[in-house]
Amino acid sequence: MALAIPDSPLFAWAQEGERTIPWLDQFPPPPKEIAEEMGTDMNLLDWQSLDTWITPNRKFFRANHYKTPAIDAKSWRLEIGGLVDKTRFYSLDEIKVLPRKDVIFAMECSGNSGFPWFEGGVGNARWSGTPLAPVLEKAGLKKGAIEVVFYGADGGEETVPYIGGGGEKVDDIKMKLEFARSMSVTDALDPANLLCYEMNGEALPPDYGFPVRLIAPGWYGVANVKWLKRIELRDTRFMGPFMAQRYVTIREEPSPNGETHWTRMSVSRSHVKSIPAKVTLKNGQYTVHGAAWGAPITRVEVRFDRGPWTAASIDESQQYEFAWKFWHLDWKNPSPGEHRITSRATDRDGNVQPAMDDWQIAKKHTYWESNGQITRTVRI
């Protein structure tokens, strides 16, 4: 199933003769240590210069926890093992001859908006590969298999505290760490998941997972394991650090009887989100442009300062469940001076993007899954 690529400037973005009014609150660049730790600069999206609906590969953000592994496509094999009838190794050519499928998916890092410098950790690309489910089914899932673990070829060494049953530290264990994430068998068999080998019609570039990565539409970036090397079926839940330590959302959740439950959940599916991307001026008309993603979007509203919420126009010319949507709103006769612009999106299930002081965000104690409403400031 091939899709026509709608990558031309769309829906009144980047029109001739328009001027972008710069935000007063520009995001600072990522701190140097972060860029160094990541082994690559993160190449974050610049919202004000965004002018295509598809994010070109050279403008797509990067999030690497270790060095990008050098992989020789000829000798590379993907292992499907563990609780399967027969362990199988696929070469890249063997994957490429399987049925091909495309998905346009706006992938966001779950840390996006969790730090002041981090607002450009999202991009909308066309990913191509072969559906994962038939590959798993062909391997023959053994009775008792409940978990699918995806291992990347990257990793490092880590000293892991060994905590006893009483919460006491027993020892430090130095272990070899492979980047890995898991899903339940049910989630892994979702027909949307791809063993992906192309990004916007090119072979996956090295930093983006060459030769094959998992693409899990509807999940935060971290679930989309790059440089896949092994897929393993297990009969117990997987507790690797990228599931159970480093990407964990700690939140106080209200319950119907008025109690508060503290929860510690592994980052998984993404949530409804939007951002005012830029304000433009053309022939005396101010327009706010933005994007919305994280779940299928049905409504976007904008407010100026503390004014009422006003519905924005959503570009419905692109109907893709997992893609982002662009929206805009003409801003009639803004008064001179500083103004604050906030957007909020609503998804197909009726979930509304929370305000920063709603409990979902205010009672969240870790920076992941920061889908609160974003406010930007501009001077007219």
Ligand X SMILES: Nc1nc2c(c(=O)[nH]1)N[C@H]1C(S)=C(S)[C@@H](COP(=O)(O)O)O[C@H]1N2
The contact set with ligand X (CB under 6 A) reads 60-65, 109, 152, 154, 179, 208, 221-222, 224-227
Is 196 within 8 Å of 213 (Cβ atoms)? yes
Nearer of residues 36 and 172 to Mo ion, judged by Cβ: 36
* Distance from C-alpha of 292 to C-alpha of 78, rounded to nearest angstrom: 35
Tally of CB atoms within 10 A around 163: 11
Nearer of residues 110 and 342 to Mo ion, judged by Cβ: 110
Tally of CB atoms within 10 A around 218: 20
Nearer of residues 225 and 277 to Mo ion, judged by Cβ: 225
Strands (E) in 240-334, as ranges, are: 248-254, 260-266, 273-282, 285-293, 297-304, 310-311, 313-314, 325-331
Nearer of residues 238 and 286 to ligand X, judged by Cβ: 238
- Judged by CB under 5 A, the residue of 63, 83, 228, 291 near Mo ion is 63
CB of 70 to ligand X, least distance (A): 14
With CB atoms as reference, the residue minimizing the distance to Mo ion is 109
Rg, the chain, Cα only: 22
CB of 180 to ligand X, least distance (A): 8
- Contacts with Mo ion, 194-233, as mask; x by CB under 5 A: ---------------------------xx-----------
CB of 81 to ligand X, least distance (A): 18
CB of 225 to ligand X, least distance (A): 5
Is 119 within 8 Å of 195 (Cβ atoms)? no
In the list ligand X, Mo ion, none, the entry touching 62 (Cβ below 5 to 8 angstroms by class) is: ligand X
Q: How many residues contact Mo ion, by CB under 5 A?
A: 4
CA angle 231, 233, 236 (to 5 degrees): 130
CB of 339 to ligand X, least distance (A): 32
For residue 227, report the phi and psi dihedrals to the nearest 5 degrees: 50, 45
* Distance from C-alpha of 295 to C-alpha of 275, rounded to nearest angstrom: 14
Nearer of residues 63 and 275 to ligand X, judged by Cβ: 63
Is 370 within 8 Å of 361 (Cβ atoms)? yes
In the list Mo ion, ligand X, none, the entry touching 353 (Cβ below 5 to 8 angstroms by class) is: none
* Distance from C-alpha of 129 to C-alpha of 124, rounded to nearest angstrom: 16
Nearer of residues 63 and 136 to ligand X, judged by Cβ: 63
Which of left, alpha, beta for 298 (phi over 0: left; psi -120 to 50: alpha)?
alpha
Nearer of residues 30 and 221 to Mo ion, judged by Cβ: 221
Helices (H), the chain: 32-37, 92-96, 132-139, 185-188, 241-244, 359-362
In the list ligand X, Mo ion, none, the entry touching 179 (Cβ below 5 to 8 angstroms by class) is: ligand X
* Distance from C-alpha of 317 to C-alpha of 288, rounded to nearest angstrom: 19
CB of 60 to Mo ion, least distance (A): 13
- Judged by CB under 5 A, the residue of 106, 109, 199, 374 near Mo ion is 109
Nearer of residues 299 and 364 to Mo ion, judged by Cβ: 364
CB of 77 to ligand X, least distance (A): 16
DSSP state of 374: P
In the list Mo ion, ligand X, none, the entry touching 225 (Cβ below 5 to 8 angstroms by class) is: ligand X
Applying CB under 5 A, the residues found at the interface with Mo ion are: 63, 109, 221-222
